[in-house]
Amino acid sequence: MGQIRNILPEVMGRHRIKQTALAEAAGLRYATVNALYNGKTERVDFSTLAAVLDGLSVLTGERYTVADLLEYTPADEAETAEVLADHPSVLERIARLEQGAVRLIPIEEVAAKDGLKR
């Protein structure tokens, strides 16, 4: 199953918006904004989402859409991310490969070096 990630904290951080300011601009209770900000909600009413978007627009002068607050990751990518999160050494190895700090050795080269037949 794919995953949806709340990126409201990143948007607010980028504009240095305080939770209290968003709550006031959106006409929402502080507890509602705090729960959204901290990912403590499982569902969000459309009216609440619209209020958050309106509040962000008022505070920043920019127009926001739902896509600016939620990020969808398809199932296959989400599963890969979960596996990699459980094995950080894999990510470190990939980074070292990308930096050119190490290289992959083809099995044929290893076999030839060790005198093995493949």
CATH number for 3-72: choose from 1.10.260, 1.25.40, 2.60.120, 3.10.450.
1.10.260
Residue 17 contacts residue 52 (beta carbons within 8 Å): no
Domain chopping of the chain, boundaries: 3-72, 87-114
**Residue owning tokens 């099995």:** 107
Distance of CA 3 to the CA centre of its chain: 10
- This prediction has a pTM of 0.63
Per-residue pLDDT tens for 44-99?
999 999 999 999 999 999 999 999 999 887 777 666 777 777 777 777 877 888 88
